[in-house]
Amino acid sequence: MSFSPLPDILQSDLARLRGAAVLELGAADGRFTRALREAGVDVVPLDRRRPVPSGGVVADARALPVRPGAVRLIAAANLLQHLGRITDVAAALGEWVGCLAPDGCLHILQDDPLADTPARRNDRELRDWLARLVPTRGRLPALTDLREALAGSGGTSGWSFGRELNRTAPPDRERALALLRGDGGVPDRATAALAAAIARDGLDYGWYWWARWRGGTAP
Ligand SMILES: C[S@@+](CC[C@H](N)C(=O)[O-])C[C@H]1O[C@@H](n2cnc3c(N)ncnc32)[C@H](O)[C@@H]1O
């Protein structure tokens, strides 16, 4: 998915680093890659699974094939729910920070699990439904979860945090319904209820949160 608008703090880091190479972790189909490229940076997308967007590499974000200090900006959107427990996530963030150049920064963007309208609730319930289906995928972490994990592992110095409303066009309702219908067999009660709610109220991305680390001369 995409995040629109990008946080001001990410836009200003991208403008500051125009021309520098940016490493994007968990790039998937490349929608977030495109948003970064539109901001004028040279993005290397990375994902553990093929296909990766053009110019990309296949690698595990938990063991980056990058020299310490080699990258000026690392970005990861909706990746954390794939990295295990929140304490493991905090450890991975520490490793990513270690790959950054002295003026470098790390940007995390994540859909917020909290939802305040029926369409936003449907979207988050669909993610939970997918998380139950795919064992390597966890539930969306909340910003408070990350802040607590960071506080417990090295602290939150250098970090800033925020929340934005994602104004990207809503996900396709028919595609979601086809996914829930699956092979056409009889759905369990929870799946049938979710499909009915989506058919009635649709889907909406809603809120996302961001976390940004910058060392040295932050902000
Ligand atoms: C929910 S998608 C995020 C897509 C994209 N960043 C966006 O926001 O549109 C998560 C992606 O992370 C990838 N992924 C999961 N665990 C990973 C890991 N350990 N290393 C690299 N990529 C990983 C998955 O293969 C998947 O493509």
Dump pLDDT digits (tens) for 91-132: 999 999 999 999 899 999 999 999 999 999 999 999 999 888
Q: In which residue are the tokens 């993610």 written?
A: 127
202 within a domain of the structure (yes/no): no
Q: Report the mean per-residue pLDDT for the chain.
A: 92
Mean pLDDT along residues 71-90: 94
33 in any annotated domain: yes
* CATH code: domain of residue 94: 3.40.50.150
- pLDDT (0 to 100) of residue 138: 87
Statement: residue 141 has pLDDT above 70: yes
Instruction: Band the pLDDT of 219: cuts 50, 70, 90.
Output: low
| Residue with CA at minimum distance from ligand 1 atom 14 | 26
pLDDT band at 174 (very low <50, low <70, confident <90, very high): very high
User: Positive or negative, the Cα torsion across 74, 78, 83, 86?
Assistant: positive
pLDDT for position 1: 65
Residue 40 located in a structural domain: yes
Instruction: Let me know if residue 201 belongs to a domain.
Output: no
| Number of domains forming the structure of the chain | 1
Distance CA 184, CA 9 (A): 45
How far, in Å, are 3, 197, 214 from residue 167 at the CA level?
7, 21, 26
Going by C-alpha positions, the residue among 168, 169, 108 that lies closest to residue 141 is 108
For atom 4 of ligand 1, the residue with the nearest CA is 28
Q: 187: pLDDT confidence band, cut at 50, 70 and 90?
A: confident
**Residue of 48, 126, 130 to mutate, ligand 1, most atoms within 8 A of C-beta:** 48
In terms of DSSP H, where are the helices of 69-205? Answer: 86-98, 118-133, 143-151, 173-181, 189-201
In this predicted structure, the answer to whether residue 59 has a pLDDT above a threshold of 80 is yes
Task: Provide the β-strand partners of residue 53.
Answer: none
The answer to whether position 41 is within a domain reads yes
Within a domain: 186: no
Domain encompassing residue 35: 8-113+137-168+207-214
Domain assignment present for 192: no
Residues 6+ apart with CB under 8 A from 216: 102, 103
Asked whether residue 191 is assigned to any structural domain, the reply reads no
Residue nearest to atom 7 of ligand 1 (CA): 1
- pTM above 0.85? yes
For residue 199, the Cα-to-chain-centroid distance in whole angstroms is 26
Ligand 1 near 24 CB (within 6 A): no
80 lines ligand 1 (CB under 6 A): no
Mean pLDDT of 33-38: 92
